[in-house]
Structures are given as structure tokens and as C-alpha cells.
Structure 1
């Protein structure tokens, strides 16, 4: 049996490599042609121009789904589906634009055994409404606030700079987690149960833990199809560090065709590797959790600005303003103009919503409080009111596209 399976895999391997290479080539061609041409011109003093094409919608997530389909079949984790099943998996609309990244072996077994009932429908609608509330009430309001703050020639006062940086940190979380809630809720309406994509990442006490809580489906994909095939953590510390470095560099590249994304992936990978190296040290183990949390959030806070400012000159201007390298007397507006009661209230709500509700004891209490009839009715009323407020925000033209639509 093992010999036959080995022969099958040996014959299948070249076809797997060709198929994966063809799928990945499409992604590279549409998304990275410019940066590859720039790198080629810089290294070899040439003048190659990359032709501009509009990338297909959701090409990054479709590519990852296609690789999952091929790899799971090759490894025997799941059987191949029919043409219709494959098309459904690749184009299933809740996940196709911005994820979550669903593995074929998790999707295939649900195609023919989907069930639906009133409890699942209520749960699905609640997730969709909460997702819209996250997006329209919080993420878009933070985005509008950031867009309204201007970097003048004299820079910006440190408080305003710090506030906009923090607002972006909240925006990107509520924007993407809101979309994930909507996608999970829509999928559940059709009987598909997707795994959670976020687990309160701003409660993390290390960068490694952050990546176990942030965009969980992306981390799972890289672990399944890059990290483990390269050897994972089974071949010694040196190879483990190499594998982690490769994964985070690829993570940065996947997010965008620019050096800032590569740097962002490198920063996250560097601290994950450093944490692995010091994990057994007594000094690290004795460090209070609150200190670890603060350091982790500081690293995350700074790294997110590479998403906000892909242009290094803008990033330099931002940090220059943060450390007051510009005379404040020349600024026409300061933090007193930008930070009104509304945005301060929303930032407090966003901070508590992204951290406090990740506390396990509070989760248990909320579950008990909403189990009885009156508690459940109050919960549904609150969610419905939030949804109405979200619709009003959209009507008032504060909606902006989801940030992860560009990836």
C-alpha cells in the first residue's frame, strides 16, 4: 500500500509543481509586475516597463484557495471535487474578495452536509449586523477623521500625530474584523461554517500571540502550505528561524507590491524570532504580562504605520511630527481643533471593544446574561439599533471601501 501511494505521489509531484507555479504566476503577473520591473532595472541598469493591467477582483484570495485545493488533494487530506464543487469553492462570494482564507479540506466536507435552523439564522444575521456596525460606526469614522487631518509644511503637533496613528490602528482592526464578521455570517446563512478570523489580537502579550489572533486564516494557510512543508520546527532552531523568516517575508509581500510591506513583514518576523530565542530565558518569563502587552502593542502600533504610509517620505514626516521636529507656532491647527468629543468617545469605545471584550471572564458573563429570554431580547435590540445607526452612517456618506479589498 505504501509503495503504491509513493508511486502515485512521485508521479503527481511534477504536475503539482506545474499547477501551483501556473496559479502563482497569475498572481505575480497582475500584482507584482511593477515592483519586479523596478528591481530588475535597479540591479541591471535596464529600462523595462511593466504593462498595466487591472487585477481580477480577489486574485490574492482566489490564488490561495487554488493552492489549497491542489495541495490538499496531493497530500491526500481531501478528495478532489466535481467541477461545480471546485468552482463554488474558488468563487464563493462571501470570502472571495477579502477572505477569510478557507482551506479546501475544511470546505469540501461541508458541501453536501450543510444544515440550517432558526438559531443558526439568528446567529448569522447578528454577525452580519455587528460586522456592519464595526465597519460603518467605527472603522469609517476613524478613516474620515484621519483623512481630515492634514500634514502641513510645518508638520503636525505630537498629540495629533499620535492620535491619528492610534486611530489608524483601530481603523484597520475594525475594518477587517468587520468584513470577516460579515463574511462568516453570510457563509453561515448558506450552511457553511467558517472558522474565526480574529480573536482580539490587541490583547496579545507577544508578537507571536498577535499572529495567532490576527487574520488567523492567513496564518493557518502559511503554516499548512509553507511553514510545515519547509520543515516547520522539527529540524532544529536554525531551520525553524529560517522558516519563520521566509513565512513573514512572504506575508509582507502578499499584502502589497511595495518595499514598505516587505519591511512590515520583516519587522513582525524579526520580533517573532527574537521571542522564540528568549522564550526560555528567566528574565523574559519573569517579565510582567502588562509590560509584555505594552511592548507588543507598541511594536504593532509602529508597524501599522507602514500600511498607512507606503511612501517612506510620508512615514518620515509622520515620525518627525511625532517627536516634535517642527516648530508648532507655524501650525494653523493643533489637536484641540481635531479631537472633538465625538471622536474621543469613538476612540474609547474602539479601545474597549478591541480589548475588554477579549477577557474570558467577561465573555462567560455575557453568555450567561444573554441566555435567558429577557437577556436575549435586550441583546437583539442592541444589535438591531447598532445596525440602524450603521445604515445611517452609510447614508451620511461616511462609507469607504474595506481596506483589505486592495490585497
Structure 2
């Protein structure tokens, strides 16, 4: 990750200094240039892919079109096709992932679906480009809505107290990544692998370690991104809120990877639910799309189906079980719900922690006692 390198640290410091040294009217250009520099640093192929995406959005969202709905549908279809080809090449042909391309695709969908055409006449082009290339969140999110970003950009002000809190937040992020994930877990706890000698314990503890590493790495980088954005005077939404403390699977997805979960809720789950009136179908569609967004592979598709089925069952239980509401009054039941939710999430890591579907099935068989 670029934020752990000398280049990344110097880049953040230089961007912050340049951003606050220019007039407010030039700040979107500074953010766009900084984001473009990060993409170029990632490689020329990454820069070409980003340039093609930005050009596609400029053609569709810049001018006013007489048939705006048709243009929007063409834009969304093209975006979906392009992202599908990118995921296919990454999964089946070993192509390296482009810096932040999965996240900018979600932003691009926001732009097309919610704002459409007319960006030039409305004066939205500079802020739109800064939104897509915002350097603080370009790598791992969080994914912010355009309206919220534009409002933050317009009212950005330097405040020493906010800067102090931002630096503190970045320190938390670096501690999670460097100390907890890269040192404590990777160098110390993983050295105990094979200590028990029991296949079930080894498999279970391996999934726990994988989940902790994923959470510490991802939430740590998000902390750095949130702090970096705050140093630019821009607040971005939280992406994690103690997900392993969730007492139900819906509660877990309100705490884990929040901004991408909300994207799937708004653009997949709710439209499917409105058309079908089937909560289980909508949950399956939303989570399977989320799985394929991560990786175009059978194991991520099954991971999404696993969580979608779990969300559907949790909904049926909370809505139709006659004693479900009464049980929530008991502390023992709330602890039980937390434990069951945690075990469900840990088991689901079997799909994403392995290199193939066969390995994932093998881990689940071991956990099931076969």
C-alpha cells in the first residue's frame, strides 16, 4: 500500500501544503492532479484505464442530452461491461489490480445514476473530477456520495483542532496496519500455526486470524484515508464501526465496509425488493453482486449467496417468529446472537481466504466435522 512508503508520506504532506496554499477555486484542480499522480505512480496501464473511464463519464455527463434517460442507461451499461471485463481479466488472466479502480467504478455509478448529464452547464466538472480522483480515498475508500463531497469541498476550512484529531486518526490507522496486522499477527501469532495439531482448531484459528488481518488492514487504511481527508478539510463517512460486536447479520453489514454495503443496498437490494417484494431474493442479489464486485469467481459468488441467505433467514426470524422480540430483552439471548453472528462471519471467511472453491469447501467440511 502506497501510504506505508516514503513516497506516500511525502505525497500526503506535499498535497496538504499545496492544497491550502492555493485559492479555494483552485483546490479541486489540486485534488484532481494529486489523484492523477497517484494513478500514474501505479503504472501506465492503470492510468490508461482511469483515463478511459473519466473520458466516458465526461462524454455522458458533461453536455445536456435530449434523451437523458437513454444516455444514462447506455452509460451504466458501458460502465458495467467495462468493469466486468476488468474483473474477468483480473480473475482469469492474472492481470494486476489497478489502483482504486473498483472503488471509482462505484463512484462513477453514483455520478451516472444520480446526477446524469449537464455537468458543464451547471459548473460541476471541476468538483466531479476531484470527486473521482480524490487522493485520500482513491485506494481503499470510503466511497462518498458526490453531493456530500461537493458540500465538504465548498466549506473546507483549516482548523488546528480538526487537524490534531485527523493526525490522531491516522496514527490509529498506522498502528492497526503496522503493529497489529503486520507485526503481532503476521510475525507472532501466525508462527503458532500447527501448535494444536488438531485439524478443526487449526482451520478455525486460521479463519479467525484471516478475519482479524482483514479487519485491521482494511479499517487501518480507512482510518488513514479519513485522517488524510480531514487534513484537507473534507469529512468522509465511516467504513467500519466495530463489526465483530454485531448482534445480528444485518447489524454486521451496517458496521462492516459500510459505504460499499450502502451502495449495494441502494442500487441492488432496494430496486430488486421494490419489483419482486421478496426480501430473500433481494438479499441474495445484493450480496452476490457485492461478492462479484470483489472478485469474478465462483467462491466469491458463493460467499455472497451465503451471506444473502443468512440475511434472508435473519429477516424472516425477526419479522415472523412470535417470540423473537421478547427474546431480545434477555442478556443471555443477546450474547447468544452475538456469538452466532460471529461464527457465521468466521465460517464465511472460508470462501474468501482460500485460492479455490475446492479449498473453501474443504475448510467448511473440516469445520462441519467431516
TM-score interval (norm. to shorter):
0.7 to 0.9
* Counterpart in the other structure of 2:226: 184
- Report how far residue 159 of structure 1 moved: 3.2
- Report how far residue 274 of structure 1 moved: 0.8
* Counterpart in the other structure of 2:104: 62
The number of residues matched between the two structures is 297
- Report how far residue 324 of structure 1 moved: 7.5
* Counterpart in the other structure of 1:379: none
Give the 3 Å change call, closer, same or farther, for CA 158–241 of structure 1 in structure 2.
Answer: closer
Give the 3 Å change call, closer, same or farther, for CA 80–306 of structure 1 in structure 2.
Answer: farther
Determine if contact 1:248/1:265 at 8 Å carries over to the other structure: yes
Distance 1:305 1:161 in 2: 9
Determine if contact 2:167/2:227 at 8 Å carries over to the other structure: yes
2:341 pairs with 1:285: no
Note the alpha carbon deviations across 1:180-199, whole angstroms, 9 max, x for none.
11110000100110111111
Determine if contact 1:197/1:214 at 8 Å carries over to the other structure: yes
**5 Å matches for 1:364-379?**
none
Note the alpha carbon deviations across 1:83-134, whole angstroms, 9 max, x for none.
3322211111221111111111211222221122011001100110000101
* Counterpart in the other structure of 1:308: 353
**5 Å matches for 1:127-206?**
127-140=169-182, 141-145=184-188, 148=191, 157-206=199-248
Distance 2:339 2:65 in 1: 48
- Report how far residue 322 of structure 1 moved: 5.2
Tell me the SS of whatever aligns to 2:234.
coil
Determine if contact 2:90/2:96 at 8 Å carries over to the other structure: no
2:148 pairs with 1:109: no
Distance 2:292 2:186 in 1: 24
Equivalent position to 1:262, from 272, 295, 301: 301
**5 Å matches for 1:206-355?**
206-228=248-270, 230=271, 232=273, 237-238=277-278, 240-280=279-319, 281-287=321-327, 288-319=333-364
Tell me the SS of whatever aligns to 2:254.
helix
Note the alpha carbon deviations across 1:211-262, whole angstroms, 9 max, x for none.
011111011212232333x154x56742x33222211110111111221111
Give the 3 Å change call, closer, same or farther, for CA 282–323 of structure 1 in structure 2.
Answer: closer
2:104 pairs with 1:24: no
With a CA cutoff of 8 Å and minimum separation of 6, indicate the structure with the bigger relative contact order: 1
- Report how far residue 26 of structure 1 moved: 2.1
Gap runs ≥5 in structure 2: 1-63, 328-332
- Report how far residue 284 of structure 1 moved: 2.9
2:112 pairs with 1:73: no
- Report how far residue 312 of structure 1 moved: 3.0
Note the alpha carbon deviations across 1:14-72, whole angstroms, 9 max, x for none.
1101112222222111212476xxxxxxxxxxxxxx76654432110011111111222
Determine if contact 2:239/2:258 at 8 Å carries over to the other structure: yes
* Counterpart in the other structure of 2:45: none
After the TM superposition, list the runs of 4 or more consecutive aligned residues in structure 1 that deviate by more than 6 angstroms: 149-152
Provide TM-score, normalisation by structure 2: 0.72
Tell me the SS of whatever aligns to 2:142.
coil
- Report how far residue 176 of structure 1 moved: 1.0
* Counterpart in the other structure of 1:12: 68
Q: CA RMSD in A?
A: 2.9
- Report how far residue 316 of structure 1 moved: 4.5
Provide TM-score, normalisation by structure 1: 0.66
Distance 1:10 1:279 in 2: 47
Give the 3 Å change call, closer, same or farther, for CA 138–208 of structure 1 in structure 2.
Answer: same
